[in-house]
Structures are given as C-alpha cells and as structure tokens.
Amino acid sequence: MKTLKQILEGVNYQLIEGSEDASVNQLQIDSRKVQKGDCFIAIKGSASDGHLFIDKAIQAGASSIICSDVPDTRNEELNLIQVNNTRDNLGFIAANFFEKPSSQIKVWGVTGTNGKTTSSVLLFKLFRRLGMNVGLISTIDIRINDEIIPTQLTTPDALTLQGIFAKMVDANCDFVFMEVSSHALDQGRVNAIEFDVAAFTNISHDHLDYHKDMKEYIRVKKMFFDRLNKNAIAIINIDDKNGKVMTENSRAEVKTYSLRTMADYKGKIMSQSFQGLHMKINEIEAYFKVVGGYNAYNLLNVVASSEALGLELEEFLAELSAIDSADGRLERVDVGNRSAFVDYAHTPDALINVLETLNQMKRKGEKIITVVGAGGDRDKSKRPKMAKAAARLSDQVILTSDNPRTENPEQIISDMEAGLNSELSTKVLKITNRKEAIKTACMLAREKDVILVAGKGHEKYQDINGVKMPFDDKEILKEIFKDL
C-alpha cells in the first residue's frame, strides 16, 4: 500500500484538502470500479470527463481524489489533490504506485503505420523459443509468457499498462515487446515507461480523423524518439522518407535498416513464394516462413532489435527462420483444394503492400479477387484510396462492410466508390453483407485463383452500432469452403 505522497513523487501537485500521507488502496479512473480506500483520478477524455463522476467515486468509497478541476463538493474526510493535467500525469502516478515496473524489465517499443504487430509478435515468439520469460502488448492480445489477456486497444491506458508491467515483473519477465500507437503517444499513455529500444517501421495515410493532417501525425510519432534517453537505442527504417526525421535531435543511439540503401542492417530479397522469403541480411542468407516482400522490413527490424537487446545473430537466426507471422497477417486459410488469404490491411499503403506481394507470387492466368471494406467512425479520406488500390491491383473487387460502427455501411461503400474511375468500376461489385461478400468471392474464384479478405485480420467480431457481433473472416472462409 502506498501513500499519496509516494504516488505523486515527481509530479507537480497541490494539496487542496486532507493529508498527503493518506494511504491509497488502489488507483481507479472508472468511478464504477471504485471501492473503499481507493484513489479516483479524474481524466478528461475524448468521450467523457471523469470530473463529472467525482461525486459517484466519493459515494462508492474513494478516500482520495486527484483532479485538474477542483470540485465544488467538499468532504472533510476526503484527500483532494490538484494537478495541472491528470491525463498527462496518470502514467507517472501509476508507475509510482506499481514501483516503476518498466525500469525492472528491458522494454522494446515500436511505432509506425504498418508492421507494428508483425514485428512485436515475431520478437515475442523468438525470445520465447529461446527460453526467455517475455511479455507482449499488441493489437492482437497481451501475453505474459503463455498467459493470454484479451485486449481491444493497440496500447492500453496508462493505468492498465503500468499494472500489466507489474504483472510481467512478478512473472520474472526479462523483456517486453509492445506496440506504441500514435493515439497512445498523444494521450500520454506511455508516459513514465522507460524504453530501452524504440523501433520505427514506416508512416503512411492513417488516423487523420484524429490527427487532422500528416504533419501532426508525424510530429506525434516523433515524440516517441524525442523522449528516449541517451542509453536507449533507436531502430529506424531509412527507406521510409520519415525515418531520419524520427531521430532528429534524439539522444538515443541510432541503428538503421534498409532494403534499398546502405544501412547497419541491409537486406535483400533473393526470392519469395507463398511458402515464405529467401533473404540476405548483411551477407548472411536465410529462409523465413513469413510471407510477403513487405515483411522483409519487419524481419530486418526484428534482427536489428534482437541484437540491440543483446542477442547474437548466429544464436537466433535459425530460430527466427522457423517462426510463422502474426495472426491475421497474410494468413493462409486452406480447406481441401480451396484457399484464401486473410490480412489486417486497413490502410491504403498496407493494402497496396499485400496486393503487390500477391501479384508477384501468383502464376500466369491466376486472378486476384479482393474483398475489402473500411471502418466506420474513422478517417473517411482513406476510403476512396483503398478502393482505388484494391481495384488497380485486383482482377475483381467486392466492396463490403468492415466495422461500420455507428455509420451506415452503404454510405461507407459509397465513399469508397468515389475513388474509382469508369475503367476500375467495371471490376467492382458491392455487397454490404460481409459474409455474402466473402461467399461471392469464393464462388467466383477458380481453383487456383487468389482470394484476399482484407481489413479485419485477427479480429473475431464485427462492430455494428456499438455491438460487437461474433465474426471471424477465417472461420467464415472455412465454413464456405466446406459447402462448395
């Protein structure tokens, strides 16, 4: 159990009422979870303001309140602390409460538009195969060795995150691999985490509903590297034009990887197929089970990061060669003599990468049939770009629902259609029901044609008007293939 003074170490605060020596049972940012003796921290979020629930937290038994705006309601038994910005300070307060767990583990973080999940999952699998205790915080799930914790966010809130780090310390984890989203950076979720290695994959069109323009999106990503200390190592993809921008003025040591220019880790694709990649990395040849030319960058990231974390290339390259990619990342679904690929590609650039890879690997006469949609309540400007990319690189496209959320799925499809000229439009069908769209693609495909179902990947639900209905692209494909 900690005192208020202990959890506020390093935080600029003002004691309004009570005692800073008061004990804190647990930290809470959700008034519905408050129990007697807890400290409620009122966070101003994009959807709601925790300050509106201070009275409820007190009624539920909160003995301490940390807030930015001091409430009118006063209670002589209440300990009331004011800080400038509770959201920005939450990470530091939570880190103090859990005894700064990230300082007790080597932490690797990755940011970028595409490749975060694949890179982090490959590293997790690699270090586990080498017999180490490790943690993973990814879009797919959170893992502590073999324990799986479901997640709905790429990067959890700061309080949850520090609690997870504490569990990883208790599980004797030596390393943790985590994705760092632009939202998490902007909202201070990773404040107080001490990163030993930080990696950059690439930047392309995404999240402009939140960041408004690419300049702001890039600025937020760069914050990750600006905050690194001088003992940290930054791993940068310098084939991306923003790679060097990320580490301008960074105090960290910089290591680079590339397929096109000189770098600390220079890769070359020797050949690729539906079975994997044959690559040369710094003159060492290796075969990998990971499919797709764009994944060569993720493999270079993993190799560079592994060495930055203290491994020797000779000791891990053979193990890395035997590892499959992340769930829902160009994942093949086979039933009898029928097959299809499922991929999480939900940005124009990611969709282009996947389709270019499939075009490179398909045989003469084979067609590519793509099923794709776009998420509702998200950046609308990428919708026409995704439809254009799909139609340009496919022989047949079926536009359908993704996670429409609170939007009309037919309107989303209409927004996507805006990116098609008259020639590309001839390749496109519109089927709003996602299951029917997948079924139609399977029925149109000949035995050797390539089917791509894009956008949802590992997700096992479809978000419609706030209700997450069970829906798994892979299971739907298997069901349809069995009936054909």
Sorted by where each starts, the structural domains of the chain and their CATH numbers stand as 2-97 (3.40.1390.10), 101-321 (3.40.1190.10), 331-483 (3.90.190.20)
Strands (E), 88-196: 106-111, 134-137, 141-144, 147-150, 175-179
Residue 204: what pLDDT? 80
Residue 205: what pLDDT? 57
| 299 Cβ contact partners less than 8 Å away, ≥ 6 residues apart | 122, 267, 277, 279, 281, 288, 290, 320
pTM listed for this prediction: 0.90
* 167, two tokens: 């569990």
DSSP of 362-391: SPTT--EEEEE---TTS-GGGHHHHHHHHH
pLDDT in tens, the chain (484 residues): 899 999 999 999 999 999 999 999 999 999 999 999 999 999 998 778 999 999 999 999 999 999 999 998 777 789 999 999 999 999 999 999 999 999 999 999 999 989 999 999 999 999 999 999 999 999 999 999 999 998 876 789 999 999 999 999 999 999 999 999 988 999 999 999 999 999 999 988 555 566 567 889 899 999 999 999 999 999 999 999 999 999 999 999 999 999 999 999 999 999 999 899 999 999 999 999 999 999 999 999 999 999 999 999 988 999 999 999 999 999 999 999 899 999 999 999 999 999 999 999 999 999 999 999 999 999 999 999 999 999 999 999 999 999 999 999 999 999 999 999 999 999 999 999 999 999 999 999 998 899 999 999 999 999 999 899 999 999 999 999 999 8
Within the chain, how many helices (H) and strands (E) appear?
17, 26
* 407, two tokens: 């939007």
Residue 74: what pLDDT? 73
| Class of residue 210 by CB neighbours under 10 A (exposed 0-12, middle 13-18, buried 19+) | middle
**Helix (H/G/I), strand (E/B), else coil: 429:** strand
Q: Which amino acid is it at 174?
A: D
| Class of residue 271 by CB neighbours under 10 A (exposed 0-12, middle 13-18, buried 19+) | exposed
Residue 163: what pLDDT? 97
**Alpha-carbon distances of 226 from 162, 198, 248, rounded to whole Å:** 21, 11, 8
According to DSSP, the residues that pair with 179 across neighbouring strands are: 110
| 3-state helix vs strand vs coil in the chain, percent to 5 | 35, 25, 40
Given its phi and psi angles, is residue 313 left (phi above 0), alpha (psi -120 to 50 degrees) or beta? Answer: alpha
Residue 290: what pLDDT? 95
Show contacts of 158-161: CB within 8 Å, 24+ apart: 158/90, 158/91, 158/94, 158/188, 158/189, 158/190, 158/191, 158/192, 159/27, 159/29, 159/41, 159/90, 159/94, 161/91, 161/94, 161/137, 161/189, 161/190, 161/193
Q: In whole angstroms, what is the distance from residue 6 CA to residue 107 CA?
A: 24
Q: At what angle do helices 116-129 and 295-308 cross, to 10 degrees?
A: 50
Q: In whole angstroms, what is the distance from residue 39 CA to residue 61 CA?
A: 9
**Helix (H/G/I), strand (E/B), else coil: 122:** helix
Q: In whole angstroms, what is the distance from residue 259 CA to residue 120 CA?
A: 20
Given its phi and psi angles, is residue 405 left (phi above 0), alpha (psi -120 to 50 degrees) or beta? Answer: left
Cβ–Cβ < 8 Å for 252, 229 = yes
Q: In whole angstroms, what is the distance from residue 136 CA to residue 179 CA?
A: 9
